[in-house]
Amino acid sequence: MPYKYYRGEDRKVLQAALRDRGFRSTEGRLTLLSVLKRAKSPLPVSAIAERLRSTLDEVNVYRALEALNEKGLLMRSDMRQGGARYEYVRSHHHHLICSDCGLTEDVEICADKRMEKKALDNSRAFAKIDTHALEFFGLCKACAPRLSYA
């Protein structure tokens, strides 16, 4: 029997989130969402697959992550050499990412509609923006002094 990451009310919230976006509520999807909902920061696919190995194989983990990301339940962040990481979407936010150690911090700022309009005005091929992601790369306070960028 696979380990259940979700509990009581949490299960109902996750089931409703899946249903609202047109997904069936399977054990694999519930457990995957629960793993990400409990994580303190975005997780790489390898860490997600490790936690789900008794529930989903790695191919299905990738498929589920991409499908849930496309429907807005998850957020994918590309961490340069660290590869993609995923997190459960609680609110629209962006990230500060340490280029050295990979520390990731949420920032509650957002590009406004003027920026989206400007992007569309400068595009020759796009008619509409559905969503956006913004990631700031730099050095955290622990790495900056060590790398003499303080």
**pLDDT tens-digit map of 53-92:** 888 888 999 999 999 999 989 988 877 666 888 989 877 7
What's the pLDDT at 149?
Answer: 57
Q: Is 98 within any annotated ligand binding site? A: yes
The residue ranking higher by pLDDT, 68 or 111, is 68
Task: Give me the percent of the chain exceeding a pLDDT of 90.
Answer: 39
What's the pLDDT at 9?
Answer: 66
Does residue 52 share a domain with residue 22? yes
The residue ranking higher by pLDDT, 131 or 53, is 53
Distance CA(57)–CA(133), nearest Å, equals 28
**Domain of 121, in residue numbers:** 91-150
Q: Which of 40, 46, 41 is nearest to 95 (CA)?
A: 41
Q: Is the pTM of this model over 0.75?
A: no
**Cβ(57)–Cβ(48) below 8 Å:** no
Q: Is 110 within any annotated ligand binding site? A: no
Q: Is 140 within any annotated ligand binding site? A: yes
Does residue 77 share a domain with residue 8? yes
Query: Pick from 64, 89, 114: which residue ends a domain?
Result: 89
Query: Pick from 89, 116, 138: which residue ends a domain?
Result: 89
DSSP class of residue 121?
A: H
Does residue 75 share a domain with residue 101? no
Q: Tell me the mean pLDDT in the region 21-50.
A: 91
